Amino acid sequence: MEDITSMDEDFSQWYTDVVLKADLADYSSVRGCMIIKPYGYALWENIQKELDRRFKATGHENVYMPLFIPESLLQKEKDHVEGFAPEVAWVTHGGEEKLTERLCVRPTSETLFCQHFASVVKSYRDLPKLYNQWCSVVRWEKTTRPFLRTMEFLWQEGHTVHATAEEAKEETIRMLNVYAEFCEDFLAIPVIKGKKTDKEKFAGAIETYTIESMMHDGKALQSGTSHNFGDKFARAFNIQYTDRNNQLKYVHETSWGMSTRIIGAVIMVHGDNNGLVLPPKVAPTQLVIIPVSPHKEGVPEKAREVFQRLSGIVRAKIDESDRMPGWKFAEYEMRGVPLRLEIGPRDLEKEQAVLVRRDNREKIIVPLAELESRVPQVLEQLQQSLFEKAKRMMDSRIYTAGSMEELESTAANLPGFIKSMWCGSRECEDLIKDRTGMTSRCIPFEQEKLSDRCVCCGKEAKHMVYWGKAY
RNA sequence: CGGGGUGUGGCUCAGAUGGUAGAGCGCUUGGUUCGGGACCAAGAAGUCGCUGGUUCAAGUCCAGUCACUCCGACCA
């Protein structure tokens, strides 16, 4: 089998090669939609499991809303419908009969949740409602790429209603932090937390918060978002409750989402020219055992014994197929399995096994007796070093610009993010996009005062902003 | 939606000037191998993306269409 395209040569092609050859997904006969294969789906299941655990730990409950939204319902909130109308799929017929009202296939479920909240929230005693749903949504995209942008994608969408604006804002930030910690601790992907500019915020939100991560090619991927709707949707959908003082009040809402797109981030942050590299915490298989010269006496028995001992401790797999060992090494590297254990005749003599790390190919000789303690230890170190490597990569590609000239030349020559001061005007944001191809990624929570002046117009600066080219 | 590229066994591709469909890899079977993608032998596998046209004859020429892919604009 030939190698995958080198990422330095053609990053996009490298990405596609990895998705296909690591056996994560395949193209389907439906334009823009992909088949998520068992290995890719196992990855998603691990992401789901961990996120779901974190949602439950913060008091959320899972629900399920319908796939279809009546047109009249979608129309209720003006900004929302304007944002999504261009990319929804419509159902116009049921069997042979034309429907009296078109149904859209949900691009997101705010409107359905709102209608439901309007019917179940009556009193301050009914609040808050902290809901989440796991589902797929459809957006009629013009160009698609596996995981990064598909017409149908799997995600979770959290929807909550609260009594006060303060509570809604707290929830928005809480869930952004859940996402950020999940990315950093579980996926080993460093993120920048911040707020979206008005131009970039979600259709219908008063504030959108985001975590932005940097891919290997220096481009940004919005990895999770959390929206504060204030009482905008509540007013459009008439979601009111009676408070302790018998006053009728509008609720305050939030929504937040993370999708299978995050798998694209895992690929593009950790992957290398040998294929996928998975952080141990999310890897479907954490350790693969490869018997070497399995026809030699004692080898398969010992390999199975090691497999038995380790499978209670880590997600282990043993490959006893009749492939050449070299083929297996390459194959499991392609699939990003964090740790490989080789065991052959030479090891039997010395009562040892050879561990090989996926990230740096370091070989670690471990006495058989110590495997139970050493394997989890090495996995933990690997998880940690993947995060540190990604963090160094991101930090080393964040530049500062004090003038438009600097912004333009940096954007043209150096992949990565650029931070600069900004006056807050849409005009400057648009101009920067025109001149550099970069959009504002976020107004980070961690502000630095680089200067007093907007990088673009020279007027008084309001914020420091990260700019970047985005997926 | 604009611009470029590509559609031929599972995969990567070859098939000048139209004339009976090819290779390598993979797959199956048997044997030898086995510490970084092994070797030998035998086999199976294609209505040449789809529709129409030109022609005695189309993978090849023409028109249309669909899909994939890359680069822009729009978006999780």
Residue nearest to nucleotide B11 (CA to C1'): A1
* CA atoms of A401 and A395, how far apart (whole Å): 15
The reported pLDDT for the residue numbered A252 is 98
The reported pLDDT for the residue numbered A237 is 96
pLDDT band at A161 (very low <50, low <70, confident <90, very high): very high
Task: For A140-156, write each residue's pLDDT tens digit.
Answer: 888 888 899 888 999 99
The reported pLDDT for the residue numbered A1 is 44
* CA atoms of A391 and A412, how far apart (whole Å): 23
Assess whether pLDDT exceeds 50 at residue A284.
Answer: yes
Nucleotide nearest to A107 (CA to C1'): B76
pLDDT band at A362 (very low <50, low <70, confident <90, very high): very high
3-state secondary structure of A293: coil
Q: Flag residues 127-146 of A with CB < 7 Å from strand B.
A: 139, 141-146
pLDDT band at A301 (very low <50, low <70, confident <90, very high): very high
Radius of gyration of the CA atoms of chain A, in A: 25
Contact between the CB of A415 and strand B at under 7 Å = no
Contact between the CB of A230 and strand B at under 7 Å = no
* CA atoms of A282 and A390, how far apart (whole Å): 16
Q: Could you tell me the distance in Å between the CA of residue A359 and the C1' of nucleotide B60? A: 49
The reported pLDDT for the residue numbered A97 is 83
* Burial zone of A39 (CB within 10 Å; 0-12 exposed, 13-18 middle, 19+ buried): middle
Q: Could you tell me the distance in Å between the CA of residue A327 and the C1' of nucleotide B39? A: 15
Contact between the CB of A38 and strand B at under 7 Å = no
Nucleotide nearest to A329 (CA to C1'): B36
Sequence-distant (≥ 6) Cβ neighbours of residue A261 within 8 angstroms: A147, A148, A149, A153, A221, A223
pLDDT band at A8 (very low <50, low <70, confident <90, very high): confident
Nucleotide nearest to A294 (CA to C1'): B34
A88, A140 contact by CB (below 8 A): yes
Q: Could you tell me the distance in Å between the CA of residue A323 and the C1' of nucleotide B36? A: 13
Assess whether pLDDT exceeds 70 at residue A139.
Answer: yes
Please, what are the domains in chain A?
A: 11-68+114-270 (3.30.930.10), 287-378 (3.40.50.800), 398-468 (3.30.110.30)
Task: Using a 7 Å cut-off to protein CB atoms, list the covered nucleotides of chain B.
Answer: 1-2, 25-26, 33-38, 66-76
A71, A103 contact by CB (below 8 A): yes
pLDDT exceeding 90 applies to what percent of chain A?
A: 82
Q: Could you tell me the distance in Å between the CA of residue A2 and the C1' of nucleotide B25? A: 9
ipTM above 0.95, yes or no: no
Task: For A171-223, write each residue's pLDDT tens digit.
Answer: 999 999 999 999 999 999 999 999 999 999 998 999 999 999 999 999 999 99
A194, A444 contact by CB (below 8 A): yes
* CA atoms of A447 and A450, how far apart (whole Å): 9
Q: Could you tell me the distance in Å between the CA of residue A15 and the C1' of nucleotide B41? A: 39
Closest to A258 measured CA to CA, from A4, A86, A454, A51: A51
* CA atoms of A34 and A80, how far apart (whole Å): 27
For the record, the structure tokens of A75 come out as 């129309």
Residue nearest to nucleotide B75 (CA to C1'): A141
A467, A419 contact by CB (below 8 A): yes
Closest to A262 measured CA to CA, from A184, A200, A334: A184
Contact between the CB of A321 and strand B at under 7 Å = no
DSSP notation for A14-79: HHHHHHHHTTSEEE-SSTT-EEEPHHHHHHHHHHHHHHHHHHHHTT-EE----SEEEHHHHTTSHH
Cβ atoms within 10 Å of A3's Cβ, excluding its own: 12
* CA atoms of A205 and A272, how far apart (whole Å): 38
For the record, the structure tokens of A467 come out as 């700019």
The reported pLDDT for the residue numbered A263 is 95
* CA atoms of A391 and A270, how far apart (whole Å): 11
Closest to A287 measured CA to CA, from A360, A328, A323, A338: A338
DSSP designation for A272: B
- Average pLDDT score, chain A: 94
Contact between the CB of A436 and strand B at under 7 Å = no
Nucleotide nearest to A346 (CA to C1'): B35
Q: Could you tell me the distance in Å between the CA of residue A9 and the C1' of nucleotide B49? A: 29
Assess whether pLDDT exceeds 90 at residue A225.
Answer: yes
Cα A31 → chain centroid:
23
* CA atoms of A145 and A163, how far apart (whole Å): 40
Q: Flag residues 69-98 of A with CB < 7 Å from strand B.
A: 83, 86-87
Closest to A330 measured CA to CA, from A281, A379, A275, A284: A275
Q: How far apart are the first and last CA of chain A?
A: 30
Contact between the CB of A359 and strand B at under 7 Å = no
A376 prior amide bond cis, ω within 30: no
Q: Could you tell me the distance in Å between the CA of residue A310 and the C1' of nucleotide B28? A: 35
* CA atoms of A442 and A304, how far apart (whole Å): 51
* CA atoms of A214 and A268, how far apart (whole Å): 9
Range in A2-6, A47-51, A355-359 the model is least confident about: A2-6
Q: Could you tell me the distance in Å between the CA of residue A13 and the C1' of nucleotide B70? A: 9
Residue position matching structure tokens 């049921």: A94
Assess whether pLDDT exceeds 80 at residue A261.
Answer: yes
Task: For A229-259, write each residue's pLDDT tens digit.
Answer: 999 999 999 999 999 999 999 999 999 999 9
A464: which strand partners?
A421
